[in-house]
Amino acid sequence: MTRLFGTDGVRGLANETLTAPLALKLGAAAATVLTKDRRSEKRRPVALIGRDPRVSGEMLAAAMAAGMASKGVDVLRVGVIPTPGLAFLTDDYGADIGVMISASHNPMPDNGIKFFSAGGRKLPDNIEDEIERTMAALEDTGPTGTSIGRVIEEASDAQERYLAHLKEAVSADLSGIKVVVDCANGAASEVAPMAYAAAGATVTAIHNTPNAYNINDGSGSTHMDQIQAAVVEHGADLGLAHDGDADRCLAVDAHGNIVDGDQIMAVLATAMRDSNSLKANTLVATVMSNLGLKQAMKREGIEMRETKVGDRYVLEELERGDFSLGGEQSGHIVVPEHATTGDGVLSGLLLMARMAETGKSLEELARVMTVLPQTLINVPVSDKSRILDDDSVRAAISEAEAELCESGRVLLRPSGTEELFRVMVEAAEEEQARKVAGQLAAVVAAV
């Protein structure tokens, strides 16, 4: 049986694979599993449900609320809110469950459901598996009469609470900084411009008029050409681009050059080191981070821990080592002191705070790291499990590593969702990266 939960909750094409009946049943099962240890308490369990602006979110949030209420859970709907905002509010309201209806950077027809436990933390695999098993054995009936959960529409102070949290987390005065923010017509369309303006920045917002259908459409962190042009046009000091649920942030300097998640992490890591807030002097990143980040951290005297690809693995390592900064090249950056998951708006505030503190431009700050040319080739294969055990592939990898030495690296890994093998090569020169990646891809394709 195919696992319902993926690497980040349940996702699918809304109303085809991710339907209202599925959301209702999933909500009932999650309510059963995530509140089973709290049923003896005098108060009824409480769940928070937030969503991004895409049209299917209205339908799925309603179904999720119905499923949870049917199992005796009171539901507070907080409306459109970024994913990190929902995680924060789950803790701030003292709720037992948080539910975010969003497909993040995916196109509008898709949607997703992700759960947070009490405290605003993502669920481990074993709890997700238990929810799936509970769905299969779930009875159609539940509590009756006064034991049925209430659904409250909608929390009036949710956005204000989240904004107050951001202001408390980053108290820097950003006066004099001109920023363009691309909200991707998503969940941060109101919150991000308000948060940046509240900190003193002069804000120009683009793609901040969601209409239920235009989320991520030619905008946001997956379409950086829009904000690159806007920053230059408005003469801004920088641009910040979020995705549909605002758990990511990518940046653009005053000349329109992209500053990716690796570069942002390098800037924030050195800032936290200088303020003695970088615990164990360590940054956590994934194996997909550019080699230039690792080289920069070594040069700056900062240790770097690498994890598998996926924000959940970054979070696990942050918790395991009690570290204070981690993230991904995609702009998903976690600062555990202030957030239990990636928070794009928080990342934007911290980046501008470093600019204000040092008086340096983003271009100057980003020079702490040199991005090495990177080539990624997706190779269709018939059996992903065989590739790394093949003698010809192993020999090709050894040959490539010998050619690159310490000036580059090779990474081969299977896709988590498709019959593809990803071949990634970094080198000092772009031509060399392309050449070596092409050679390796040809060997993989022949297996």
Give residue-wise pLDDT tens across range 19-63.
999 999 999 999 999 998 776 667 889 999 999 999 999 999 999
Q: Are residues 430 and 324 in the same domain?
A: no
Look at residue 178 and tell me if it is in a domain. yes
Look at residue 1 and tell me if it is in a domain. no
State CA 273 to chain mean position distance: 24
What is the pLDDT averaged over residues 140-145? 90
- Angle (CA) 276-297-333 rounded to 5° is 75
- Type of residue found at 108: M
Q: Are residues 165 and 151 in the same domain?
A: no
Look at residue 169 and tell me if it is in a domain. yes
pLDDT tops 70 at residue 154: yes
pLDDT digits 0-9 by tens, 169-196 = 999 999 999 999 999 999 999 999 999 9
Query: Which residues carry out catalysis?
Result: 104
CATH of the domain at 405: 3.30.310.50
Report which of 262, 280, 208, 286 is spatially closest to residue 370, judged by C-alpha positions: 262
Interatomic CA distance for residues 396 and 429, integer angstroms: 20
Facing residues of 340 across strands? none
Which of 252-261, 304-313, 407-416 tops mean pLDDT? 252-261
Q: Residue for token digits 């990342």?
A: 347
Backbone dihedral angles phi then psi of residue 203, each to the nearest 5 degrees = -115, 130
Query: What total number of domains does the chain contain?
Result: 3
**3-class secondary structure, 248:** coil
Fill in the DSSP letter of residue 18.
B
3-state helix, strand, coil split of the chain in percent (to 5) is 40, 20, 40
CATH of the domain at 339: 3.40.120.10
pLDDT more than 90, % of the chain: 88
Residue 230: domain span: 161-366
Q: Are residues 29 and 144 in the same domain?
A: yes
Look at residue 3 and tell me if it is in a domain. no
State both tokens at 373: 């040319």
Residue 253 counted as an annotated binding residue: no
Which residues make Cβ contacts (< 8 Å) with residue 275, sequence separation at least 6?
none
Residue 104 counted as an annotated binding residue: yes
Q: Are residues 14 and 96 in the same domain?
A: yes
Q: Are residues 41 and 96 in the same domain?
A: yes
Residue 243 counted as an annotated binding residue: yes
Q: Residue 61's pLDDT is what?
A: 98
Q: Are residues 274 and 380 in the same domain?
A: no
DSSP run (H or E) holding 20: helix 20-34
pLDDT averaged over every residue in the chain: 95
pLDDT digits 0-9 by tens, 287-346 = 999 999 999 999 999 999 999 888 889 999 999 999 999 999 999 999 999 999 999 999
How many residues are given for the chain?
Answer: 447
Q: Are residues 132 and 145 in the same domain?
A: yes
Look at residue 96 and tell me if it is in a domain. yes
Q: Are residues 359 and 249 in the same domain?
A: yes
What string of DSSP letters covers 184-218? TTSTTTTHHHHHHHHTT-EEEEES----SS-TTSS
- Type of residue found at 144: T
- Weakest mean pLDDT among 3-17, 22-36, 219-233: 3-17
Q: Are residues 143 and 217 in the same domain?
A: no
Q: Are residues 119 and 94 in the same domain?
A: yes
Residue 311 counted as an annotated binding residue: no
Interatomic CA distance for residues 47 and 151, integer angstroms: 10
Look at residue 67 and tell me if it is in a domain. yes
Q: Domain ends where: 311, 341, 366? A: 366
pLDDT tops 90 at residue 113: yes
Fill in the DSSP letter of residue 44.
P
Q: Residue 417's pLDDT is what?
A: 63
Q: Domain ends where: 156, 183, 215? A: 156
What is the pLDDT averaged over residues 364-377? 95
Q: Are residues 195 and 86 in the same domain?
A: no
Look at residue 223 and tell me if it is in a domain. yes
- Weakest mean pLDDT among 170-179, 291-300, 408-417, 427-436: 408-417
pLDDT tops 70 at residue 365: yes
Interatomic CA distance for residues 400 and 283, integer angstroms: 28
Q: Domain ends where: 156, 177, 196? A: 156
Interatomic CA distance for residues 100 and 121, integer angstroms: 12
State CA 43 to chain mean position distance: 33
Backbone dihedral angles phi then psi of residue 18, each to the nearest 5 degrees = -110, 95
Q: Are residues 350 and 286 in the same domain?
A: yes
Look at residue 275 and tell me if it is in a domain. yes
Q: At what angle do helices 158-169 and 344-358 cross, to 10 degrees?
A: 30
Q: Whole-model pTM?
A: 0.92
Interatomic CA distance for residues 32 and 72, integer angstroms: 9
